Amino acid sequence: MTTIDPARTELQPSEPPPQRRSTGTRATRLVGIGCITAMGWLVAFGLGFSPADRDQKESVRILYVHVPTIWLAYLAFVVTAVSSGLYLLTKKQSLGWDRVAGASAEIGVAFVAVTLAVGSLWGRLTWGVFWQWDARLTTTALLFVTYIGYLAVRRLGGSHQQRAKRSAVLGMIAVIEIPLVHFSVKMWRSLHQEATVANLDGDTKMDGIMLFSLFVGVIAFTFLYVWLMLHRTRAMAMEDMLEDRGLDDALIARRAEAANQQNGAH
Amino acid sequence: MSTWKVACLIAVKDLRVERRSKIVTNQVLPFAGITMVSFAFALDKQNVLDTVAPGLIWLATTFSLLILVQRSFSIETDDGALDAMRVAGIDARAIFLGKAMALAVQLLVLEILLLFAAVVFYGESIQSSGAQGPVLAVVLLVTTLVSATCGLAAVGTLYGGLAAGFKGSETLLPLLTLPAVAPVLIGATKAVESAVGTAGAVVSEGWQWVGLLAVFAVAFGIGGALAFGPLIDE
């Protein structure tokens, strides 16, 4: 199947349009199969093999989705920040970096939405309420809104380079903003349970099969992130090419119209 | 001409425009005042108002900030003045600093009036307990006002410049600004609570929040000055 080159941004009017039928390649299909397999494992371990927790009972199963999605969301936002920096700091200012930043932010926002949704269900079962004004929850909610703002800025319009520069600057500003928000909210209050797995003392306080189920969840959502990234960056490249093509076609049509009018006048 | 001198000229120009148009005095200040009164209607009970008054002051300030920023950039974009300044070779950092300074002056006036409103409507008063009486509380309050204002002005100018001239900037600005100023809202509220002694808070507790506000102001001051150029050069 023919695919597109994400690095390309403009088409020559005389050039025949390339065959573009899908954003899929052999690699994306392999990643997709890996994702489906890992998700199957996650369902088997999360809902079947893994036991209920002594304190949290069956609600512990929610954590096999809640924890991997927020880890992947953090990774997605780091990728956005790094790609934004690479776009701004490299001489070429490649739109490829801009698309990676945008796609990663979109996926990060989706993952944070999943984290907040399943987290509030877990909170209802464990704490008795859907929401608490705890440091980590509040920071996550603000992170979610911040990146919704970032995505809104990406849709402000203008040329591809204008969009890329504007959103790259915003992606870099988020690097200043998020630690400050996190620190202030942490000073404000903290109720969320301490990290059970990713804690600094290296002491993992979790049953073996539960930890393995969580690990399967991380693998499954990592596959999903990579699969979505590949498709979304290619879809973005296609959207950009389509816009360029539309502009080129409009220019050609306008020139042809003007030439016909001139010929008619003569 | 140095960057600071140009920034001062821009700040004076902005303040002169505001003084002549009287939009701030005729619209923004009454808006902030009615917000404070509306809070009293919504919260109703005096003991609740006593507890939440510091937060309400900063909430009213944040809402007013959004209007002030919209106003500050609409006078620039309506006639393409922002582009004209860039074409005239004015450093983007000077534009950022100038507009932020003008915004800070307006915010400071607004905050002082809101504090008076809190004294009148909510019965707030400066904490007078402790060895040095109200002196330390007043110093804390003034430092909080200055540092929070600098942070709010920096964020407002940065995002105001980003959203300026685009369709839907009125809705985009709050979406970008409100999450970013959350540390100011939290820090300034806590520091004012310490200054006025809300729920037994003592003055010494307020200084850690002033530290946070100062870090915020410096980070967004430097970050904003560096980022403003690429944001408006389109």
pLDDT of A16 reads: 52
A157 touches chain B (CB under 8 A): yes
Q: What is chain A written as a DSSP string? A: -----TT-----TTSPPP----S--HHHHHHHHHHHHHHHHHHIIIIIISPPBTTTBGGGGGHHHHHHHHHHHHHHHHHHHHHHHHHHHSSS--HHHHHHHHHHHHHHHHHHHHHHHHHHHHHHHHTSSS----HHHHHHHHHHHHHHHHHHHHTS-S-HHHHHHHHHHHHHHHHHHHHHHHHHHHHH---SPPPSSS-TT----S-HHHHHHHHHHHHHHHHHHHHHHHHHHHHHHHHHHHHHHHHHHHHHHHHHHHHHHHHHH-
How confident is the model at residue A3, as a pLDDT?
47
pLDDT band at A35 (very low <50, low <70, confident <90, very high): very high
* pLDDT at B73 (0 to 100): 87
CATH T-level assignment (fold) for domain A26-229: Four Helix Bundle (Hemerythrin (Met), subunit A) (1.20.120)
- Residues A85-114: what's their mean pLDDT? 92
pLDDT recorded at residue B68 = 92
A155 vs A261, more confident = A155
B215 has a chain A CB within 8 A of its CB = yes
Q: Which residue has the higher pLDDT, A188 or B153?
A: B153
CB-based contact A157 B166, cutoff 8 Å = yes
A4, pLDDT greater than 60:
no
Q: How confident is the model at residue A133 (pLDDT cuts 50, 70, 90)?
A: confident
Least confident stretch, A112-126, A185-199, B101-115, B142-156: A185-199
Cβ–Cβ below 8 Å for A187 and B223: no
**Which residue among A152, A177, A180 places its CB closest to the CB of B172?**
A152
- CA–CA dist B81, B87 (Å, integer): 10
Tell me phi and psi for residue A57, to 5 degrees.
Answer: 55, -140
Structure tokens at B167: 């369709």
The per-residue pLDDT for A1 is 39
B214 vs A: CB within 8 A: no
Mean pLDDT, residues A157-176 taken together: 87
The reply to whether residue B186 touches residue A142, judged by beta carbons under 8 angstroms, is no
Judged by CB atoms closer than 8 Å, whether chains meet at B182 and A148 is answered as no
Would you state the pLDDT for residue A266? 63
Backbone angles phi, psi at A53, to 5 degrees: -80, 150
User: How high is the pLDDT of residue B79?
Assistant: 77
Chain A positions touching B66 (Cβ under 8 A) are: none
Output B43 or A221, whichever has higher pLDDT: A221
- With helix as H, strand as E and coil as C, how does B151-188 read? HHHHHHHHHHHHHCCCCCHHHHHHHHHHHHCHHHHHHH
Distances B174 to A119, A236, B97, B101, B147 between C-alpha atoms, Å: 26, 27, 21, 20, 21
Asked whether the predicted pLDDT for residue A94 surpasses 80, the reply is yes
Inspect the interface and report whether the beta carbons of B166 and A148 lie closer than 8 Å: no
Q: How confident is the model at residue A219 (pLDDT cuts 50, 70, 90)?
A: very high
What does the alpha-carbon distance between residue B76 and residue B94 come to, in Å, rounded to a whole number? 15
Cα–Cα distance for residue pair B58/B160, rounded to 1 Å: 19
B-chain residues near A87 (CB < 8 A): none
> pLDDT tens-digit profile of A60-80?
899 999 999 999 999 999 999
Question: Closest by alpha carbon to B42, among B31, B32, B56?
Answer: B56
Nearest to A176 among B167, B168, B219 (CB): B219
At A90, the amino acid letter reads T
A182 to chain B: which residues are within 8 Å by CB?
none
pLDDT band at A42; cut points 50, 70, 90: very high
Cβ contacts of A142 on chain B, cutoff 8 Å: 179, 182
Q: pLDDT value at position B134?
A: 81
Please report the pLDDT score of residue A9 as a whole number. 46
Q: What are the residue boundaries of the structural domains of chain A, listed by start?
A: 26-229
Which residue is listed with tokens 């974009």? B77
Q: Which residues from A are below 8 Å from B154, CB to CB?
A: none
Mean pLDDT in runs of 10 for chain B (234 residues)? Answer: 87 91 86 90 82 91 93 82 84 92 94 90 77 80 95 94 80 91 92 85 85 93 89 74
Higher-confidence residue: A182 or A37? Answer: A37
**The two three-digit tokens of residue A45, written as one number:** 């371990």
> How many whole angstroms separate alpha carbon B22 and alpha carbon A211?
64
pLDDT at A182 exceeding the cut of 80: no
The count of other CB atoms within 10 Å of the CB of residue B81 is 13
